[in-house]
Amino acid sequence: MIYLLHIIILIEIYAILSISLNLIAGYTGILSMAQAAFYGIGAYVAALMALNFNTPFLLNLILAVIIAGVFGALIGIPSLRIKDDYFIIATFAFQIIIFSVLNNFVSFTGGPMGLPGIPQPEIFGFVIDNHWSFLILGLLLAVFTYYFSKRIVTSPIGRTLKAVREDEVFTQSLGKNVAALKVKIFVVSAALAAIAGVLYATYITYIDPTSFTVNESIFIISIVIIGGAGNLKGSILGAVVLVMLPELLRFVGLPNAVAANIRQMLYGGLLVAFMLWRPRGFIGEYSINRESKK
């Protein structure tokens, strides 16, 4: 039972991450390679505040969201002036920079040794210290992320984001400030990713830089693509599929080394298959590949 609860909590974490990425990749048509960086920023802010200052969970959550949003603005304002492949390279560079800082700033982040002993949350006197309570906390944060994002995408702002995705020049000709809009949604996306980071850090009680690598960003992109870009429910479905899929291999009886390799092969095979035969994923409304835009 504990194992099943653990898997559900992971699904909640990745659902938050994929929803945050879907706002920019699926609804705005901007593919970012830096989502794991914002995920890591949220985790490290919450961990460092709790370990060094013993601050309450809710304050750490708010600070993590704000700081990740600030970093989102810092990378978004200059990078969103460029497009397509150049923007992907810029976010990839930011991802590498954040990982390098986390890995090498040993006196502050613990470096490769990470940060152990992160306190578990206490909210209004209620200590969250077991799988059931973390499942409920993760569910509340995931539901908040989903409905907050849904309010955005169903509002006039959301319709403008879709217009930017389909034809940025035409949207500008209608008098919309496209640059400002892209920066704002990028900041929101970064801030929401930090929520997942805070939940992960306090749940695992230990973090290190290897949890926030480029591979993690690629995994989050995979969830969005397979679940369906441009559909928030697709992000949840994608998280369920890609988190559950490698776990099913445990029941096949393969050695751990082989299972790890097969896991990577499955991810790659699924991505190739979906991009070739179903570029919109399971229930997506938008295809990230270039041919579908023409």
* 124-129 LR contacts (CB < 8 Å, sep 24+): 128/57, 128/202
**Residue 116 domain boundaries:** 2-212
Residue 290 has pLDDT above 60, yes or no: no
Residue 226, domain member (yes or no): no
174-215 per-position pLDDT tens digit? 899 998 999 999 999 999 999 999 999 999 999 999 999 999
pLDDT tens readout for residues 55-74 = 999 999 999 999 999 999 99
- Pair 52, 221: CB distance under 8 Å: no
Q: Residue 63 domain-assigned?
A: yes
Q: Is residue 259 in some structural domain?
A: no
Q: Report if residue 266 sits inside a domain.
A: no
Q: Does 41 reside within a domain?
A: yes
Q: Is residue 241 part of a domain?
A: no
Q: Give the other-Cβ count within 10 Å of 171's Cβ.
A: 19
In a domain, 65, yes or no: yes
Terminal-to-terminal C-alpha distance of the chain: 48
Average pLDDT, the chain: 91
Q: How many CB atoms lie within 10 A of CB 105?
A: 13
Q: pTM value?
A: 0.93
Q: Are 208 and 112 in contact (CB under 8 A)?
A: yes
Q: Are strands 206-207 and 115-116 parallel, antiparallel or unpaired?
A: antiparallel
Instruction: Tell me whether residue 162 is in a domain.
Output: yes
The answer, yes or no, to whether residue 293 has pLDDT greater than 60, is no
* Overall domain count for the chain: 1
